[in-house]
Amino acid sequence: MPGKIKVVRKKQLSHEGGEKMVELNDNEKKVCDAMKAIGATNDASAKTSDVIAAKCPLPKGLINNILTQLAGKGAVKRLAKSKAGVYYLVQQ
């Protein structure tokens, strides 16, 4: 009979406001900068990837992939609105 397995998760700590810090590559920074420029900083002002792509100098397909990566890292949040999802920055 196998023994029980206990899963322990490490907490990520930072010194700035208790939020975990996320390391971003150059393209991720460009998308975040575009989101800041258009004011996608909270759930009430979340924007679609089309609006973000209009402000960012990267191809739309790449921006969609980056938004998915950023959501996985916890840097942005995706909300389901009508047919298209909208995104906003969680960490400034």
- Domain 26-89: give its CATH code: 1.10.10.10
Question: Between vectors from CA 87 to CA 21 and to CA 44, what angle results, nearest 5°?
Answer: 105
pTM, full prediction:
0.75
* pLDDT of amino acid 84: 82
pLDDT in tens, 10-51: 444 333 444 567 789 999 999 999 999 999 999 999 999 999
Give 87's strand partners: 47, 78
User: What's residue 32's pLDDT?
Assistant: 94
Please tell me the predicted confidence (pLDDT) of residue 7: 52
Between 30 and 84, name the one with better pLDDT. 30
Parallel/antiparallel/unpaired status of strands 85-89 and 47-48: antiparallel
